[in-house]
Amino acid sequence: MTEWLAAMDAEPLSVCVDFGNPNAFLAVPPTTALAHELGLTVNWLPRMTAPIERPAERSADDSRGTRHRRFRAEYAARDIQRYAELYGLVIIRDIYRRPNVTLPSLGLLWARRAGPDAAQRYVEAVFAGHWDGSLDLQQPAELQAVLAAEGVDAGGFETFAMGEGRSELAQLQEVLVERGVFTVPTYLVAGKLFVGRGHLPMIRGLLTSS
């Protein structure tokens, strides 16, 4: 049994995130605040998902359905920026970017080996760096620098990322799919699955009911 599988079943709060998804980024501050309030650590797990679809360009020939989908997408984009400002985060640039998140996901698996606090710091640093444009998720050296800055020994990460880590990441994705995790952020609490940070009040109730 891998370390992350044991933690998923043992820790009270597991959270699946995708570094290329702005909604996952927005979930970090309130989730972290809840964990601190309750004296818990968050079991962060990488879950690679499909990117947010860019709405269709406006056209005089748009159908009602096309217009409706575009209005919803535009509203969602405005909402993301509003919440970013509320949480004091960077202004999120281009929510429709399609980064390959394999390497930062491997970095999270590596950071977890140094403990939950290191994983927490890594998650915060990578999300912030990616969404403010200061971090290139495709550059191993930049991610190694993040690991080192957050107190994680980066020696061996590149070898891990080219071999063992990829098998581990693929296995984790299969397990999460089997457990019903199809998007991010997704919370796993007491055997229950919750999609979206809007469920944090209910999650708080579950975590404090025992």
Domain assignment of residue 137, yes or no: yes
Domain assignment of residue 144, yes or no: yes
- pTM (2 d.p.): 0.89
d(CA 4, CA 174): 13
Domain assignment of residue 62, yes or no: no
- CATH number of the domain that residue 43 is part of: 3.40.30.10
Number of domains observed in the structure of the chain: 1
Contact predicate 47/176, CB 8 Å = yes
Mean confidence (pLDDT) of the chain: 89
Domain assignment of residue 141, yes or no: yes
Domain assignment of residue 7, yes or no: yes
Domain assignment of residue 198, yes or no: yes
pLDDT of residue 2: 72
How confident is the model over 101-142, as pLDDT tens digits? 999 999 999 999 999 999 999 999 999 999 988 999 999 999
- Rg (the chain; Cα; Å): 18
Helix, coil or strand: residue 186: strand
How confident is the model over 82-103, as pLDDT tens digits? 877 777 876 677 888 888 999 9
Element at 100 (helix H, strand E)? none
Domain assignment of residue 91, yes or no: no
Contact predicate 95/130, CB 8 Å = no
User: Does 65 score more than 90 pLDDT?
Assistant: no
Q: How is residue 96 written in tokens?
A: 């429709």
Average pLDDT over residues 153-174: 95
All residues at 6 or more sequence positions from 192 whose CB lies less than 8 Å from its CB, including other chains: 206
Domain that holds residue 20: 3-50+99-208
pLDDT interval class at 54 (50, 70, 90): confident
pLDDT interval class at 9 (50, 70, 90): confident
Domain assignment of residue 89, yes or no: no
Contact predicate 168/109, CB 8 Å = yes
